[in-house]
Amino acid sequence: MDSKTRSAAKFWLRWSLLLAALLALGLALAALFRQNGERISVSGSSATAQREDHSLPSASITSSRVTPTPPPATPTPPKQFDGQKAWEDVVFQVNLGARIPGSEAHDKVVEWMVAELERANWQVEIQETEFSGKEIKNVIARRGQGFPWYILGAHYDSRLVADREAEPSKRSQPVPGANDGASGVAVLLELARSLPNDLPGQLWIVLFDLEDNGNLPEYEWIMGSQAFVTQLPGKPDGAIIIDMVGDADQQIYLEGNSDPNLAAQIWEVAERQGYADRFIPELKHTIIDDHLPFIRAGIPAVDIIDFDYPYWHTTQDTADKVSPESLTAVGDTLITWLKETLR
C-alpha cells in the first residue's frame, strides 16, 4: 500500500470514529431528555419543547377551559301574598272608571284581568253568553285537572247608580266599586300569582260579570254567576266567593246561606293564621250573592263578605276605604286553606 492510500484510509477511520462518537452523544442526550420529562413536538420546520401536565390524567380533560359544576339549584320558595300589590290592583280598577255594562272601563278591565291571569300561567278564556237578555262576559282561569276541584269567584262589575247615596243629587252617578267589586278581583289576581303551580287537583278562578245591578230596571242580581253555573260542565267539590273584603275596618261574619262545613274550615284556618279578630265565627247576614247559584245546584259554597260597610252602593266606595292589611288577611287565609285542601 503506497503512502497516498494509507493517508486516505486514516482519513476515513477518523471520520468513522467521529460519527460514532456523535451518534453515541445523540443517544445519550435523548435518554437524558426523556428522564427529565421533556417531549419533542415538531410542527412544520420548527421544534418546540413542551412540559407535560401531570396535574390531571389526560383523559379527564375534555376542553381547554374547565368550567366547575354548579351546585344543585335551590327550589324557589312560594311567593307570599302581597297585600300592597293587591291594593294597587284595586286602585288600577277604580282609575279605569266605573266598570258598568257597556262602558269602556268594563271592556278594559276584562282585557287587563285576562292579561294578568295569563301572565301568571293560567289557562284563560272569556265566557261570552246571555242571561235574561243581557250580554255576559265571565273570565274563567283554570289550572290542574281531576279532583279535588274548587272554584274561587268574585264579581268585577260595578253598580250603575249610587242609589244608597245620602245626597240625592249623586244617586244617579255610578258606584266607583273599590270595595264592592275591585277588592275581590284584586285578591283573586294576587292569589293567581302566589299559588304554587303544582297543587294537586283542579282549581278555577272565575271573575263574574253583572252581579251588582239587582233592583234596577231590566237587571237582576248575580246574573253572571247564574249564567256560569247553568253551563258548568260537571260538579266541583265547592265554590268560595269573595266580595267586599277590603274594608279597613274589616269584620267578616259567617253568612247565612253559606255551607256551614266549608265555612267552618275556612274560619278555623283564619284563626290559626292570626285573623280571629277579622273572621268572626258568628252568623250575622244572609245575602244574595254569587254563591247562591252554586248552592242551588247542590254544590257547597261559601260567601266571604264584610257586609258592614257604610259606603256600599255610594259614590264614596273609593280606594282610600280599602286596606292592604284587610286584603292580606283574606289572601293568606285562602292560600293556606287551598294548600291544606288540594293535596
Domain residue ranges of the chain, discontinuous segments joined by +: 83-341
Q: Which CATH architecture has domain 83-341?
A: 3-Layer(aba) Sandwich (3.40)
Q: CA torsion angle for 109, 188, 139, 259 (degrees, to 10)?
A: -130
What angle (nearest 5°) sits at the alpha carbon of residue 152, between those of residues 146 and 154?
150
- CA pair distance 191, 334, nearest whole angstrom: 8
Query: In one letter, which amino acid is 181?
Result: G
Q: Strand 134-144 relative to strand 123-131: parallel, antiparallel, unpaired? A: antiparallel
SS3 21: helix
Please state, in angstroms and rounded to a whole number, the distance separating the CA atoms of residues 343 and 328: 23
Contact 224, 136 (CB under 8 A): yes
Burial of 68 (0-12, 13-18, 19+ CB in 10 A): exposed
Residues in the chain: 343
The helix, strand and coil proportions of the chain, stated in percent and rounded to the nearest 5, come to 40, 20, 40
* H or E element at residue 150: strand 149-155
Residue 90: count other Cβ atoms within 10 Å of its Cβ.
27
- Pairing, β 238-243 against β 149-155: parallel
Report which of 134, 297, 94, 122 is spatially closest to residue 206, judged by C-alpha positions. 122
pTM, whole model, 2 decimals?
A: 0.78
Instruction: Please report the pLDDT score of residue 14 as a whole number.
Output: 56
- Cα separation, 193 vs 146, in Å, equals 21
For residues 162 and 258, what is the distance between their CA atoms, to the nearest angstrom? 27
pLDDT in tens, the chain (343 residues): 444 444 444 444 454 555 555 555 555 444 444 444 433 333 333 333 332 333 333 333 233 333 333 333 333 455 789 999 999 999 999 999 999 999 999 999 999 999 999 999 999 999 999 999 999 999 999 999 999 999 999 999 999 999 999 999 999 999 999 999 999 999 999 999 999 988 999 999 999 999 999 999 999 999 999 999 999 999 999 999 999 999 999 999 999 999 999 999 999 999 999 999 999 999 999 999 999 999 999 999 999 999 999 999 999 999 999 999 999 999 999 999 999 999 8
Collect all residues with Cβ–Cβ distance below 8 Å to 181 and sequence separation of at least 6: 93, 99, 155, 156, 157, 158, 212
